Copies of this chain bind each other. A is one copy, B any other.
Amino acid sequence: MIALSAARTVVDGVLAHARAARFPPMTVAVLDAAGQLVAFAREDDSSLLRERIARGKARGALNLGVGSRSLAGKAAAHPAFIGAVTSLADGELVPVPGGVLVRDGAGVLLGAIGVSGHHPDADEACALAGAEAAGLVAEPGED
């Protein structure tokens, strides 16, 4: 499980990347491998659904065991399947890039990072910067 200290470093790394890149207001959620929220930040003037989208990306990655970029491809190829599992997950499965699994150096799953606020590639870049700041191995998924 990801520790709070590491999760807070992830949040710092995400926000530093977003501000350096002059992105619009970003929201970041760090979940542990059980899907529980560990650390969270919502930048000023974020729109109302950003928490749920950021969590939905991270939780969706944990729900199916792949980064959310892989879920985007599945949604295009198998829309009925993704529709069904999204409903099962009460919506907590957002099939666009920006939800990244994180592991330790031995490959143990620690949790996931979800970012929302800009276009999906930018959101994912923030999540990867957060993982790197904390020395975690990130799995964003594949196209």
Contacts and interface: CB of A to CB of B under 8 A. Distances in A.
Interface of A: 1, 3-4, 7-8, 33-49, 51-53, 56, 59, 62-65, 72, 75-76, 78-96, 109
Q: How many identical chains are in the complex?
A: 4
A81 B96 contact: yes
29 contacts: A3-B44, A4-B43, A4-B44, A7-B41, A8-B41, A34-B34, A34-B35, A35-B48, A36-B48, A36-B51, A37-B40, A37-B51, A39-B40, A39-B41, A48-B62, A49-B63, A49-B93, A52-B85, A56-B84, A76-B80, A78-B96, A79-B80, A80-B82, A80-B96, A84-B91, A84-B93, A88-B92, A89-B91, A90-B91
